[in-house]
Chain A
Amino acid sequence: MADEFSLVHQVDGPVLIIRTKGYLNDLGAEQVDTVCSEHLGKDIKKIVINLDQSPLINSIGISILIGVIEAIEEAGGALAFTNLTSTNRKTFEMMGLLQFAQAFDAEEQAVASFKSS
């Protein structure tokens, strides 16, 4: 039985950090889209999504992340994923997500990169 999806988020300077927990294979993952939309509305356009606690991502999760990418693109922001498993990295590459978002090994690296740019 998959864990119920949840997330925590924090704003660090110009960067919104979202840490997900549980599989991104359910409609619960729509929370990621909601939190991103709220912060884009507040002009926080650099977003880091830490997927360390979300090892399984299926098409439902991908569709939600594509929605997030489109919204950030429209707002002229930037997105980074961190702590991707190798399977997820391959899926993201295959689906073209990494053409619009950078992948980092660790959250701190992504945040530091966004802060310095």
Chain B
Amino acid sequence: MPKSRLSPPSRAPEAQEPEVIVTGIETDAQQQVLRYEYVLKALSDIGDELCRVTSFDAQLKSLLHLLLGTLGVSKGGIFIFDAMSESVSLRCSWKLSKKSAVHTLSSAEAQEIEKQNDPITFAIEEFPFMKGLVADFREDDLNSISILKVREKLIGFLVVGRKLKRETFSEKEISFLTTLSRNISVAINNFLLMADLRDTNKRLDDKIQEVSILYQATQMIASELQLQTLLDMAMSATSEISEVKRGSIWLYDEEHEAFTLRSHLGDTTDIPDTIPLARSGVCQKLFTNKEPIKMMREVAETQKMPEIDEIVFGKSFVIVPIVHQGEFLGAMHMCEKTSGSEFSERDQRLVTVFAVQLGAAVKNAKLYEQAITDGMTRLYLHKYFKQRLFDEVKRAARFNRALALIMIDVDHFKKFNDTYGHQTGDEVLKRVATIMRKAVRTHDLPVRYGGEEFALVLPETDMQGAMAVAERVRRAIEMDSLEAGGKTIKFTASLGVAVFPDSALEMDDLIKAADMALYKSKESGRNRVTQAPQLDPSKPPHTTPPAES
């Protein structure tokens, strides 16, 4: 039976020689194929690594391991070049003696390295650049260093240790190392570009968010002319800008050199209504420099702050000036972030930009207020009263609500002026105005109607409520007094009350009804309150529903 070529050999040993040589060549070829497959797999893994969503450092480490494992090397590291700081730093390493290292690399040296085209991989002792870096890792007995660059742009360096058994790299392995280094350079460059792109996107998102916050906040205050409403809106807008537990808006009173609290957010139990400029270091600094102040808790604790500043502004705060065309109008303050963290540059920037808008709005509101209020009594003027009363009557009719009008006239005012002089007469008017302001709610309207005559417009108030307010005002005027020429002078006022829709259905009729009631008070002996008659006595009077709790 003929023997198969694959049968076990039965010939003499010397006759088997050629067959053994053939098997050895095949084995070498198979090993080569296996090695190339292995390197190709590593290249494909680098491609996979590029598609993974992970951090730059994790990706860098994976790339380093891929390279070390492909070459059969136990240690290595990747250094990244930062052109801005002209430095090279160890960003990722495996089994190196040092975990961090930073070396200077001037832009001139970097340019020289960037020009190095071939070779890019050097035996460590033959590398002509970065001698300090090489010396730093002498104890690691490194084998080689490769320049990582993409199109003449230096990315960094790759250092690798020796193979197992300290075998030297073959030419093929050096070629692998160069190829892998080039791939890694591209990968790192892509990572850096992606990181740059992500950073830029993040900054852009932040900016868009900032602009959006400011837009919303400024929209809130843009067209508001009522100073108090404006300041309250601005205060609530600060919660859009930054989440804080407390905040306050202060307007500067030039006459008294003091800051007056006009709006606040959060607990104000211990906060005074005014801060004299002389008593507050924070206010003085703000007033003098007209620049924002940001205080960190740690700094506040080491500084000796005036007690009033610590009570009002806290230990972690931002305070910005409200300025319009160089005129110092006041201050906007935020303290105690809800998160417990310190205020950031972003917080300060946003509130500063907002305060610029607020400055213009405050100035407009102040000018408007001056135009519609009486300089002496600081009550609204007759023209504004007519406009507001017209609006309020329309609103009350639309929503079927009551609206009260109280007319007030100081008794025997002419006699006052004749007896005590105009100055005393003016003082009486100011006293009455102060009493009226104290008696009203935020949305009520105290008015100087003309001469010694005043008015109060009380939205959402029925006859019973209006009579109570009128009586309170009458009594407060009766109880007041002033000193003139060594004498204590007492004064009184007569009041008339009319209510929409019980007393009148039109604005002019309402004024007439209140005037008639006032006239009745005068006729009946003064210093009293009279209510206008009902239009239809058979109908029950309109009543204001109790306020929602």
Best-surrounded residue of A63, A69, A91 (most CB of chain B within 10 A)? A63
The digit string for B27-48, where 1 denotes a CB below 8 A from any CB of A, is: 0000100110010011001000
- For chain B, residues 1 to 48, give those with C-beta under 8 angstroms from any C-beta of chain A: 31, 34-35, 38, 41-42, 45
Bound-state Cα–Cα, A58 to B1, Å: 48
Instruction: Say yes or no: A61 contacts B69, CB within 8 Å.
Output: yes
Bound-state Cα–Cα, A59 to B160, Å: 15
Instruction: Say yes or no: B34 contacts A60, CB within 8 Å.
Output: no
Stretch of B70-78, B212-220, B533-541 contacting A (4+ beta carbons < 8 Å)? B70-78
Please judge, given known A-B contacts A27-B58, A90-B34, whether A99 and B165 are in contact too, CB under 8 Å: yes
Write the residues of chain B forming the contact surface with A, with a CB cutoff of 8 angstroms: 31, 34-35, 38, 41-42, 45, 58, 61-62, 64-70, 72-75, 94-95, 163-165, 167
- For chain A, residues 54 to 104, give those with C-beta under 8 angstroms from any C-beta of chain B: 58-64, 66-67, 69-70, 90-91, 94-97, 99-100
The 9 lowest CB-CB distance pairs between A and B, nearest first, are A59-B69, A63-B69, A62-B69, A63-B68, A60-B65, A70-B74, A59-B70, A63-B65, A95-B72
Contacts of A69 in B (CB 8 A): 74, 164
| Interchain CB contact (< 8 A) of A63 among B58, B94, B167 | B94
- Kindly count the residue-residue contacts between A and B in the assembled complex, taking CB atoms under 8 Å apart: 75
Number of interface residues of A (CB under 8 A): 22
Contacts of B95 in A (CB 8 A): 67, 70
Contacts of A97 in B (CB 8 A): 164
Instruction: Say yes or no: A59 contacts B66, CB within 8 Å.
Output: yes
Instruction: Say yes or no: A99 contacts B65, CB within 8 Å.
Output: no
Instruction: Say yes or no: B38 contacts A91, CB within 8 Å.
Output: yes
Contacts of A100 in B (CB 8 A): 164
Bound-state Cα–Cα, A94 to B164, Å: 12
Instruction: Say yes or no: A94 contacts B38, CB within 8 Å.
Output: yes
Best-surrounded residue of A27, A58, A64 (most CB of chain B within 10 A)? A58
10 contacts between A and B (CB under 8 A): A27-B65, A59-B68, A60-B62, A62-B69, A66-B72, A70-B95, A91-B38, A94-B34, A96-B167, A100-B164
Counting CB contacts under 8 A, is A53 at the interface?
Answer: no
Say how far A100's CB is from chain B's closest CB, in angstroms: 6
Bound-state Cα–Cα, A108 to B313, Å: 74
Contacts of A63 in B (CB 8 A): 64-69, 73-74, 94
Contacts of A25 in B (CB 8 A): 45
Contacts of A95 in B (CB 8 A): 38, 69, 72
Instruction: Say yes or no: B74 contacts A27, CB within 8 Å.
Output: no
| Interchain CB contact (< 8 A) of B42 among A59, A64, A67, A94 | A59
Contacts of A91 in B (CB 8 A): 34, 38
Say how far B115's CB is from chain A's closest CB, in angstroms: 31
Instruction: Say yes or no: A70 contacts B66, CB within 8 Å.
Output: no
Contacts of B66 in A (CB 8 A): 58-60, 63
Which B-chain residue is minimally distant from A66 (CB atoms)?
Answer: B74
Bound-state Cα–Cα, A62 to B34, Å: 15
Which B-chain residue is minimally distant from A91 (CB atoms)?
Answer: B38
Given contacts A59-B67, A67-B75, A97-B164, 19 further A-B pairs with CB under 8 A are: A27-B62, A58-B41, A59-B66, A59-B70, A60-B45, A60-B65, A62-B69, A63-B69, A66-B72, A66-B73, A66-B74, A67-B74, A67-B94, A91-B38, A94-B31, A95-B38, A96-B167, A99-B165, A100-B164
Bound-state Cα–Cα, A97 to B69, Å: 11
Say how far A41's CB is from chain B's closest CB, in angstroms: 16
Which A-chain residue is minimally distant from B167 (CB atoms)?
Answer: A96
| Interchain CB contact (< 8 A) of B164 among A59, A64, A66 | A66
Bound-state Cα–Cα, A27 to B49, Å: 12
Say how far B227's CB is from chain A's closest CB, in angstroms: 63
